[in-house]
Amino acid sequence: MCVAGGKMSGEDYDVLVIGAGPAGSYAAYRLAAQGYKVAVLEQKKAAGEDVCCSGIISVECFDSFGIDPAVILTRASSASFFSPGGRRLRLSKDKAVAYVVDRSLFDVAVADKAQAQGARYFCFARVVDVMVMEDSVRVEVVERGLRRKLEARALVVAGGFKPGLSQKLGLGRISRFAVGAQAEVLVGGLDEVEIYFSQQTAPGFFAWLVPVSGQKALAGVMADTRAGEYLEKFLAGPFCRGRVTERVSETRQKPIPIGSLPRVYRDRVLVVGDAAGQVKPTTGGGIYLGSRGVEVACETLGQALKVDDLSAASLAGYGRWWRGASKKELAPGYRVRRLYGRLSDRQIERLFAFVCSSGMAEALLRSPSFSFDLHSGLIRDGLKYALTYPLIKAGKVFRGKGGEEG
Ligand SMILES: Cc1cc2nc3c(=O)[nH]c(=O)nc-3n(C[C@H](O)[C@H](O)[C@H](O)COP(=O)(O)OP(=O)(O)OC[C@H]3O[C@@H](n4cnc5c(N)ncnc54)[C@H](O)[C@@H]3O)c2cc1C
């Protein structure tokens, strides 16, 4: 259970974790499981409060958290993708590849698991300052108007996309971000995830309808800016008109980092999850890459705590892993995203026509490089496949500026 106003100081913690999102609680669990004394500091009332997420994660990613499947709302073995003009591309597998989880219950379940291992949770506890000293880290926490100081041997920053703390720690900042806006709605006839591509509806990104239970669904838009306005446009537009019958909740919005934090570690400190930019550039999903980051970070930190060497050099293995992973996974994803951002709706329409008629999507779905979580292999194979088609090779599918025919 979260403790508000509980005794914070006077305890000797090995690790303080900032944030009780999936990354923070998973880190707390993995460190507590290694026998370390861990405290999680969360500014909200409790883990799982006011979350803004569709909760789509791969089966493998869900399994890695080892939590009760009761948090799963739907199992997804198919999805439909729509072009600006309404052309539909439906992809399906013979078994579930992803789950839609209740993100609030998911966060609570991961936090419960960490607490069962002995991690202590302090809620209404906003970290406002951090200081790295020679033999400890010190954080300053505002808890219901009171300022307190806490010390530990090491710090894990898992506070989501908030540049302030990492900048204060001299780790740089992630300067680019998109925004995801989402609301709960009632929809008729929605039995799988639907993704909509149109620069008019979601510039540079996409919109979605995700079934959660009965007629209840999540309607969302990811966009560079003004995602809330685009969500209204999406709900009133041709994709939703006549299908979305009622709005159940207000819109929630949250920034999604685009790009990696320049440095994800220093002496006594590791940064994980959205705070580090561990987000898939293609979809904006961060739970998978964040959990991989946590696993490597906690392995590295566990070893460093054991030998009591928390120098930057001792934690550098985590930085090396992330540099390699971001080069391999993030870089091609950002290139594709930049390319997509430059296409007009007309060009997207042609691309859809090509993908539907060439059998490319089915070929990629069957290819050994298919992964719900890692998209670099798919991007590479997709390009190889496309370049065997003379029209793509000659650039004719993309020809034409601002939607004009080439
Ligand atoms: C609309 C939308 C839909 C999404 N859908 C998906 C999806 O389907 N699948 C997917 O994988 N990802 C999705 N994402 C992304 C996903 O939500 C994030 O990647 C994920 O929440 C990151 O987890 P985290 O633990 O790193 O950060 P967060 O979940 O942001 O958690 C950070 C926590 O730290 C706390 N905190 C912050 N600062 C402080 C402080 N100073 N002191 C104390 N506590 C602090 C916050 O209150 C919060 O609880 C979506 C995002 C959006 C916006």
Convert the pLDDT of each residue in 132-151 to its tens digit. Answer: 999 999 999 999 889 999 99
272 and 389 in a common domain: no
**DSSP letters for 153-204:** EEEEE---S-HHHHHHTTS----EEEEEEEEEEEESS--SEEEE--TTTSTT
- Higher pLDDT: 264 or 377? It is 264
- Higher pLDDT: 388 or 127? It is 127
Question: Do 198 and 222 touch, CB atoms closer than 8 A?
Answer: no
Question: What confidence category does residue 403 fall into, taking pLDDT thresholds of 50, 70 and 90?
Answer: very low
| Strand, coil or helix: 92 | strand
Strand pairing partners for 176? 258
Question: What confidence category does residue 336 fall into, taking pLDDT thresholds of 50, 70 and 90?
Answer: confident
Q: Which residue matches tokens 């971000």?
A: 177
Give the model confidence (pLDDT) of 67-113 as tens digits. 999 999 999 999 999 999 999 999 898 899 999 999 999 999 999 99
246 and 195 in a common domain: yes
Question: Do 217 and 350 touch, CB atoms closer than 8 A?
Answer: no
230 and 108 in a common domain: no
Question: Do 186 and 244 touch, CB atoms closer than 8 A?
Answer: yes
Last residue of a domain, one of 216, 231, 256: 256
Give the per-residue pLDDT at 203.
94
Strand-by-strand arrangement of the 56-58 sheet: 56-58, 98-101, 72-76
308 and 163 in a common domain: yes
37 and 148 in a common domain: yes
Q: What is the CB neighbour count within 10 angstroms for residue 383?
A: 12
Last residue of a domain, one of 210, 229, 256: 256
246 and 183 in a common domain: yes
Residue 318: give the domain boundaries.
13-51+104-174+259-326
Give the per-residue pLDDT at 9.
54
Give the per-residue pLDDT at 405.
35
Cα separation values, 36 from 138, 258, 365, Å? 17, 33, 42
130 and 169 in a common domain: yes
Any domain includes 8: no
Give the model confidence (pLDDT) of 346-374 as tens digits. 999 998 898 888 877 777 777 777 777 77
Any domain includes 154: yes
Q: How far is the CA of 71 from the centre of ligand 1 (A)?
A: 17
Q: Candidates 54, 205, 261: which one to mutate for ligand 1, based on the most atoms within 8 Å of Cβ?
A: 54
Give the model confidence (pLDDT) of 231-244 as tens digits. 999 999 999 999 99
Give the model confidence (pLDDT) of 51-63 as tens digits. 999 999 999 999 9
Any domain includes 402: no
Give the per-residue pLDDT at 1.
58
Question: What confidence category does residue 268 fall into, taking pLDDT thresholds of 50, 70 and 90?
Answer: very high
For 284, residues 6+ apart whose C-beta sits below 8 A from its C-beta are 178, 180, 205, 222, 256
Q: How many domains does the chain contain in total?
A: 3
The rounded distance, in Å, linking the Cα atoms of 283 and 258 is: 11
The distance from CA 396 to its chain's CA centroid, rounded to whole angstroms, is 35
Question: What confidence category does residue 281 fall into, taking pLDDT thresholds of 50, 70 and 90?
Answer: confident
Q: How far is the CA of 114 from the centre of ligand 1 (A)?
A: 17
Q: What is the mean pLDDT of residues 385-405?
A: 57
Any domain includes 336: no
Report the percentage of the chain scoring pLDDT > 70: 91
Say whether pLDDT at 267 is over 90: yes
Q: What is the mean pLDDT of residues 299-305?
A: 98
Residue 274 CA: which ligand 1 atom is closest? 26
243 and 142 in a common domain: no
Give the per-residue pLDDT at 7.
54
| Strand, coil or helix: 38 | strand
307 and 377 in a common domain: no
Element spanning 291, H or E: helix 287-306
Residue 161 CA: which ligand 1 atom is closest? 30
190 and 165 in a common domain: no
Q: What is the CB neighbour count within 10 angstroms for residue 320?
A: 12
**Residue 99: closest CA among 74, 80, 77:** 74
Give the model confidence (pLDDT) of 203-216 as tens digits. 999 999 999 999 99
Say whether pLDDT at 385 is over 70: no
Say whether pLDDT at 230 is over 60: yes
- Tell me, what amino acid is at 255? P
> How many C-alpha atoms does 296 have within 13 Å on its Cβ side?
22
- Tell me, what amino acid is at 30? R
Question: What confidence category does residue 5 fall into, taking pLDDT thresholds of 50, 70 and 90?
Answer: very low
- Tell me, what amino acid is at 322? W
* Residue closest by Cα to atom 51 of ligand 1: 53
Say whether pLDDT at 396 is over 80: no
Give the per-residue pLDDT at 383.
72
Copy the structure tokens of residue 96.
Answer: 């579930």
What CATH number is given to the structural domain containing 286? Answer: 3.50.50.60
Which range, 319-328, 363-372, 395-404, has the best average confidence (pLDDT)?
A: 319-328
* Residue closest by Cα to atom 53 of ligand 1: 180
Strand pairing partners for 141? 127, 148
Q: How far is the CA of 142 from the centre of ligand 1 (A)?
A: 21
Residue 220 CA: which ligand 1 atom is closest? 1
Q: Candidates 41, 49, 53: which one to mutate for ligand 1, based on the most atoms within 8 Å of Cβ?
A: 53
Q: Candidates 287, 289, 294, 371: which one to mutate for ligand 1, based on the most atoms within 8 Å of Cβ?
A: 287
Copy the structure tokens of residue 44.
Answer: 């909200």
**Residue 57: closest CA among 384, 275, 373:** 373
Report the percentage of the chain scoring pLDDT > 90: 74
223 and 89 in a common domain: yes
Phi and psi torsions of 71, nearest 5°: -80, -5
Any domain includes 191: yes
Indicate the average pLDDT of the chain. Answer: 91
Q: How far is the CA of 56 from the centre of ligand 1 (A)?
A: 13
Q: Is the CB of 160 under 6 A from ligand 1?
A: yes
Last residue of a domain, one of 229, 256, 283: 256
What CATH number is given to the structural domain containing 211? Answer: 3.30.9.10
Any domain includes 1: no
Question: What confidence category does residue 328 fall into, taking pLDDT thresholds of 50, 70 and 90?
Answer: confident
Any domain includes 405: no
Any domain includes 403: no
Q: Is the CB of 44 under 6 A from ligand 1?
A: yes
Question: What confidence category does residue 398 fall into, taking pLDDT thresholds of 50, 70 and 90?
Answer: low
Give the per-residue pLDDT at 335.
86
Residue 148 DSSP symbol: E
Q: Is the CB of 330 under 6 A from ligand 1?
A: no
193 and 95 in a common domain: yes
